A and B are shown apart, each in its own frame.
Chain A
Amino acid sequence: MVAPVEPKPGGTLRNAFGGVLGFFILLLIGVLAFSIRLFSVIKYESVIHEFDPYFNYRVTQFLTKNGIYEFWNWFDDRTWYPLGRVIGGTVYPGLTLTAGTMWWILNSLNIPLSVETVCVFTAPVFSAFAAWATYFLTKEVKGIGSGLTAATLLALVPSYISRSVAGSYDNEAVAIFALIFTFFLYIKTLNTGSLFYATLNALSYFYMVCSWGGYTFIINLIPMHALLCIVTGRYSSRLYIAYAPLVVLGTLLAALVPVVGFNAVMTSEHFASFLVFIIIHVVAFVYFIKGILSPKMFKVAITLVLTVGIAVCIAVIAILVALVASSPTKGWSGRSLSLLDPTYASKYIPIIASVSEHQPPTWPSYFMDINILAFLVPAGIIACFLPLSDASSFVVLYLVTSVYFSGVMVRLMLVLAPAACILSGIALSEAFDVLTQSVKLQLVKLLEGPLSNSGDTKDENSTAQNDVLKADKQVATNNKTEDVKERPSKKNRKKDKENTEKAPVKSHNEKRLLALPLEASAIAIILLVVLGSLYVIHCVWAAAEAYSAPSIVLTSRSHDGLHVFDDFREAYAWLRHNTEVDDKVASWWDYGYQTTAMANRTVIVDNNTWNNTHIATVGTAMSSPEKSAWEIFNSLDVKYVLVVFGGLVGYPSDDINKFLWMVRIGGGVFPHIKEPDYLRDGQYRIDAQATPTMLNCLMYKLSYYRFVETDGKGFDRVRRTEIGKKHFKLSHFEEVFTTHHWMVRIYKLKPPKNRMKGKTKKPKHTSKPLSGARRDGSTKKNPWQ
């Protein structure tokens, strides 16, 4: 509750206490950011969450065990069987290296924490850092008060909490800190023009490149800002110092990261920076000549320079176009393309479209994730435009681009959150400034009336007047901000009326001061505090209820108390203890990382999704009838098949619900799998109306095998229907383990029979796909035979 009001003293106390107070407030903000993310540990336990974090955790374990050199050369043979994966060269190492370093430091200080603990708490620690970075960034833009407010908002913003609760050990956890810090250093360089900060900026950019693929956002946003500055005539040598070394050093440093490598100079994502690099040199050259020549001579010279410049530009653009056109995907990776054209992924790459966080967000998710910030942001933009500086234009540009990106992909809401926090921090702080100033003024005037002769009051008054003179301009400009912010409330009109009513009554210099009346500003302050409290309440609720679930341990509250579903770990533990070390486990790719990390068994596909064909093979197997699926799995040397089934307890994100994506991805590579075969009149259903193809496919059978024995009817709680085919036997698979709530079911492939019962070895290739239910395995569909 106190949080939004908290920054107030730090903003106004300009005396010696200010610094100390500000420091303590920052410390508190850090503690706040850390502790609000601990709900998951308190409510559940200290575990790693979800899918990708398990992979990062496994990599970190490897790193701490084998050292950095082994890590760079690590070829992982426990995943993507039989292909394997080069981990060292395909992973963004920032997060693992950070956590590994933290663990190493702690251990050398004789603080024996386990790797898992360090991993769990990396994200909260870095969110505290991110809050501090936000403070510095906003301070560079608008001063200390705004900085503190923005840091508080960022510490609490739900969008960021969703990615950085304790246990959510993912790249974004450190990347957001790196992102904000890089922007801060860029602004700092821009404001001071010091090469030192430019160097730091490049290093921080390097850290960002290490951490997250989102670094392309930086390397496109900063050139955009530089270009904006040039176009609007705000070019300065500070801009040159901030930009040019960053491009050279940053490119070199980025090329050092194995996963980026030569992409740093070869792909289109980075070309914008080089183009602006050339432009800024041309502009710098023009300014330089302008400086040493007289204006008259400059006019003559400029034509010469222009012709040369245009020629160079045309040549460069021609080269660029040739380069871009020569590469197959025009030099852009699939995810970047789907950013530019939101419909790209759904049209061409089902595997990107199938991930829910790559889909466009809905309006409620904006409100859920940034809450009141969405309404404060416009006010912040206006506050940034009144005196427009290089720094504030950067913040506005950041906001605009990130709003666009967040509209394309729900995952990038995370990039929007810091921008929204900074701008609403500015808005809130400016509003508080105006309101408290006017309260102060009015109080002084009230006192001035009865005690007009007292020297004490005069003195106070004069200091207040000084204050007012100083703040006069600010107040005048910020009234607008205030108005915009308060527009939704009807208090605004009332306040205006009061203002006009009381204007003649007030003293003669009232008109110049443009201060708000006492009552109105007091009410407005209270309203702002209420607004802030609502935000805090929402954030705490989001942190506690919405975003803390680790998704490997599930809970549900019903009338007879709390139920805990720990089926995933039960299944993985079973695999770990009851199967051979080298057994291969097939599952849909979502569970690949968890299987390798928790069960330590080799998987066929995992969440890395780098090989579409391989995933399509598994998808094909899951959507084929039992026998051909068995053949595919057997050819992949698979011993166990794992399916996730939520029908008994109503767990909605199970394999049956993901099944259509398996069909689509499988059908994308192996055309005999056709999506319409699995749909009845365009509807996906598993009851008696379902198509025979659907009822005979492996996924259906593995999910619903013996399901009817649970309640006698086979009622699926997720689909809310009775299943279509209740009594059937498995011929090629046998059930070996089903967890307590039936959420994970593990099947073993039966060994091949010694005798084929009079069957020909080569099955005929069915020409017509109509008989999809009886389709036999053909040689073509299986690439591993």
Chain B
Amino acid sequence: MAKSTSSDVLTLIRSLRSAYAATPTNLKVVYMGIVGSFPFNSFLSGVLSCVGTAVLAVCLRIQVNKENKEFKDLPPERAFADFVLCNLVLHLVIMNFLG
């Protein structure tokens, strides 16, 4: 019983995670495999944009998680502001790099 529950949970998490973060990247990579990576900077910025947003979202969720004891002194407002700033920088760079 226990095993089936755990694997259920696992599959759930993994499907969620992959649906949430990795799909666009995978699509990109698949696209690259098919079409080729000629405008390499466009491809790169596309992939890194996806990865970057995913990473930042993970960071944000770690920080605003109520059960996480490590960030007691970091108010969620601050975390959100940081997240917005970071995303802003990221996407400014992406836009610049897109060529």
Which residues of A approach B to under 8 Å, CB–CB? Answer: 192-196, 198-199, 202-203, 236-238, 240-241, 244-245, 248-249, 251-253, 255-256, 262, 265, 284-285, 289, 292-293, 296-298, 300-301, 304-305
Q: A241-B59, A289-B13, A297-B2 are in contact. Are A199 and B89 (CB under 8 A)?
A: yes
Q: How far is the CB of A156 from chain B (nearest CB, A)?
A: 36
Contact B74 A194 (CB under 8 A): yes
Which of A249, A300, A304 interacts with B2 by CB under 8 Å?
A: A300
Q: A297-B2, A304-B10 are in contact. Are A199 and B85 (CB under 8 A)?
A: yes
Contact B63 A241 (CB under 8 A): yes
When chains A and B are docked, how far (Å) is the Cα of A112 from the Cα of B54?
49
Over the window 15-48 of chain B, the binary record of Cβ atoms lying under 8 Å from chain A Cβ atoms (1 yes, 0 no) is 0010000000000000000000000110011001
Contact A237 B40 (CB under 8 A): no
Which of B7, B9, B48, B62 interacts with A241 by CB under 8 Å?
A: B62
Contact A301 B52 (CB under 8 A): no
Count chain B residues whose beta carbon lies closer than 8 angstroms to a beta carbon of A: 40
A-B contacts counted at CB < 8 A amount to: 107
- A198-B82, A262-B44 known; 13 new pairs, CB 8 Å cut-off, are A194-B78, A195-B83, A196-B85, A198-B86, A241-B59, A245-B52, A252-B44, A256-B96, A256-B97, A301-B6, A301-B7, A301-B10, A304-B7
Closest B residue by C-beta to A236: B70
When chains A and B are docked, how far (Å) is the Cα of A195 from the Cα of B82?
5
Contact A248 B48 (CB under 8 A): yes
Closest A residue by C-beta to B9: A293
Closest A residue by C-beta to B67: A291
When chains A and B are docked, how far (Å) is the Cα of A194 from the Cα of B41?
29
Contact A240 B52 (CB under 8 A): no
Q: A248-B48, A251-B48 are in contact. Are A203 and B89 (CB under 8 A)?
A: yes
Residues of B within 8 A of A240 (CB): 58-59, 62
Which of B5, B55, B63 interacts with A244 by CB under 8 Å?
A: B55
When chains A and B are docked, how far (Å) is the Cα of A241 from the Cα of B52?
12
Residues of B within 8 A of A297 (CB): 2, 5-6, 9
Q: A195-B85, A240-B58, A256-B97 are in contact. Are A289 and B63 (CB under 8 A)?
A: no
Which of A237, A244, A292 interacts with B70 by CB under 8 Å?
A: A237
Closest 5 CB pairs of A and B: A195-B82, A297-B6, A248-B52, A196-B82, A237-B62
Interface centre among A249, A256, A292, A296 (most CB of B within 10 A): A249
Contact B85 A193 (CB under 8 A): no
Q: A236-B70, A297-B2 are in contact. Are A202 and B58 (CB under 8 A)?
A: no
Can you name 10 A-B pairs with beta carbons within 8 Å?
A: A194-B82, A196-B82, A199-B89, A203-B89, A241-B59, A252-B48, A256-B97, A292-B13, A300-B3, A304-B7
Q: A195-B82, A199-B85 are in contact. Are A249 and B90 (CB under 8 A)?
A: yes
When chains A and B are docked, how far (Å) is the Cα of A195 from the Cα of B81?
9
Closest B residue by C-beta to A296: B2
When chains A and B are docked, how far (Å) is the Cα of A674 from the Cα of B57?
63
Contact B70 A238 (CB under 8 A): yes
Q: How far is the CB of B43 from chain A (nearest CB, A)?
A: 10
Q: A255-B44, A301-B6 are in contact. Are A199 and B86 (CB under 8 A)?
A: yes
When chains A and B are docked, how far (Å) is the Cα of A298 from the Cα of B2?
10
Q: How far is the CB of B34 from chain A (nearest CB, A)?
A: 18
Contact A252 B60 (CB under 8 A): no
Contact B93 A256 (CB under 8 A): yes
Which of A202, A284, A292 interacts with B89 by CB under 8 Å?
A: A202
When chains A and B are docked, how far (Å) is the Cα of A782 from the Cα of B54?
57
Residues of B within 8 A of A293 (CB): 6, 9
Contact B56 A195 (CB under 8 A): yes
Interface centre among A195, A202, A238, A289 (most CB of B within 10 A): A195
Closest B residue by C-beta to A247: B55
Closest A residue by C-beta to B10: A301
Contact A237 B55 (CB under 8 A): no
Residues of B within 8 A of A192 (CB): 74
Closest A residue by C-beta to B84: A195
When chains A and B are docked, how far (Å) is the Cα of A192 from the Cα of B90?
21
When chains A and B are docked, how far (Å) is the Cα of A296 from the Cα of B2?
9
Contact B41 A195 (CB under 8 A): no
Contact A252 B94 (CB under 8 A): yes
Residues of A within 8 A of B40 (CB): 262
When chains A and B are docked, how far (Å) is the Cα of A293 from the Cα of B74?
26
Q: How far is the CB of B13 from chain A (nearest CB, A)?
A: 7
When chains A and B are docked, how far (Å) is the Cα of A237 from the Cα of B60?
11
When chains A and B are docked, how far (Å) is the Cα of A249 from the Cα of B51?
10
Residues of A within 8 A of B70 (CB): 193, 236-238
When chains A and B are docked, how far (Å) is the Cα of A297 from the Cα of B2?
7
Q: How far is the CB of A69 from chain B (nearest CB, A)?
A: 15
Residues of A within 8 A of B48 (CB): 248, 251-252
Contact A252 B85 (CB under 8 A): no
Residues of B within 8 A of A289 (CB): 10, 13
When chains A and B are docked, how far (Å) is the Cα of A237 from the Cα of B63?
9
Q: How far is the CB of A229 from chain B (nearest CB, A)?
A: 14
Contact B86 A245 (CB under 8 A): yes
Q: A236-B70, A237-B68, A251-B48 are in contact. Are A195 and B93 (CB under 8 A)?
A: no
When chains A and B are docked, how far (Å) is the Cα of A195 from the Cα of B59?
8
Contact A248 B63 (CB under 8 A): no
When chains A and B are docked, how far (Å) is the Cα of A214 from the Cα of B44?
24
Q: A202-B89, A237-B70 are in contact. Are A195 and B52 (CB under 8 A)?
A: no
Contact B97 A193 (CB under 8 A): no
Q: How far is the CB of B70 from chain A (nearest CB, A)?
A: 6
Residues of B within 8 A of A300 (CB): 2-3, 6-7
When chains A and B are docked, how far (Å) is the Cα of A293 from the Cα of B52?
27
When chains A and B are docked, how far (Å) is the Cα of A523 from the Cα of B89?
55
When chains A and B are docked, how far (Å) is the Cα of A284 from the Cα of B57?
14
Residues of A within 8 A of B93 (CB): 249, 252-253, 256
Closest A residue by C-beta to B11: A304
When chains A and B are docked, how far (Å) is the Cα of A238 from the Cα of B45?
26
Residues of B within 8 A of A296 (CB): 2
Contact A195 B63 (CB under 8 A): yes
Closest A residue by C-beta to B85: A199
Closest B residue by C-beta to A288: B13
Contact B63 A249 (CB under 8 A): no
When chains A and B are docked, how far (Å) is the Cα of A244 from the Cα of B90?
13
Contact B7 A249 (CB under 8 A): no
When chains A and B are docked, how far (Å) is the Cα of A194 from the Cα of B63?
8
Q: A255-B44, A289-B13, A293-B6 are in contact. Are A193 and B58 (CB under 8 A)?
A: no
Q: A193-B70, A196-B85, A245-B55 are in contact. Are A252 and B97 (CB under 8 A)?
A: yes
When chains A and B are docked, how far (Å) is the Cα of A252 from the Cα of B70?
29
Residues of A within 8 A of B7 (CB): 300-301, 304
Residues of B within 8 A of A236 (CB): 70
Contact A195 B86 (CB under 8 A): yes
Closest B residue by C-beta to A251: B48
Contact B6 A199 (CB under 8 A): no
